[in-house]
Structure 1
Amino acid sequence: MEEILEIVEQFRQGAKNSLLAGFDSVELHGAFGYLIDRFLQDGSKQRTDEYRGSIENRSRFLLDVVTAVAKVWGGEPIGIKLSLSNTSYAMQDSNPLATFGYVIQGINSFGLAYLHLMEAN
């Protein structure tokens, strides 16, 4: 659990660094088997802690990261990339519509600039 908090902090620090460097916005990459995607989809999730199991638990990491980045930027200049159907790096979810529907509802409250949805090739 402590390691996950450190990783969320690294996302926050990265957001702060990009703001200080003069960037206009940031995009969180939550697709194609990257870390956020690995937490989110049940086909890759092998954890035994509170980040495993239900959609709510698997979505926790993504929502924690969005919360941390939004504390730096506010919501408007943040985008997020997700992929419901990409199977790169053996990614899969048993119910992608439910999983990503829950995530989209969760991130709506942040007022993000955009949601970048990708399809498999």
Structure 2
Amino acid sequence: MVDLSQYLPILIFLGIALGLSALFVFLPMGVSRLTGTHNPTADKLSEYECGFPAFEDPREPFDVRFYLVAILFIIFDLEAAFLFPWAVSLDLTGWPGWITMMVFLGELAIGLAYAWKKGALEWD
């Protein structure tokens, strides 16, 4: 016979977590309906994630600027991912590591200036 009493603390923890998460989700919704602050308007219900309304035809292509901004975001996000380990290990890499990172940051700055000059960051 297996003793399942050792799983009781885990079940209690999961029950408390489920209760708190439900409370954090449904309590603000209920309070907003009771206090009258639940007032959906056309501006509140409009599209905000992509910056333009949803398409009627799903095969309609996106504007290329959307992809350019996404690629630039990924590039600079990866830059930040390279900066943290470099900063931690700078005492081990010394001057060669510092110079290499400055060349890397210089290349990224030149690329950002080029994208900025070409208007890739402009959003109409």
**Quick check: which one's strand share is greater?**
1
Q: TM-score band (shorter)?
A: under 0.3
**Quick check: which one's helix share is greater?**
2
> TM (normalized to structure 2)?
0.25
Query: Which one has a bigger Cα radius of gyration?
Result: 2
> TM (normalized to structure 1)?
0.25
Structure number with greater CO (CA < 8 Å, separation at least 6) is: 1
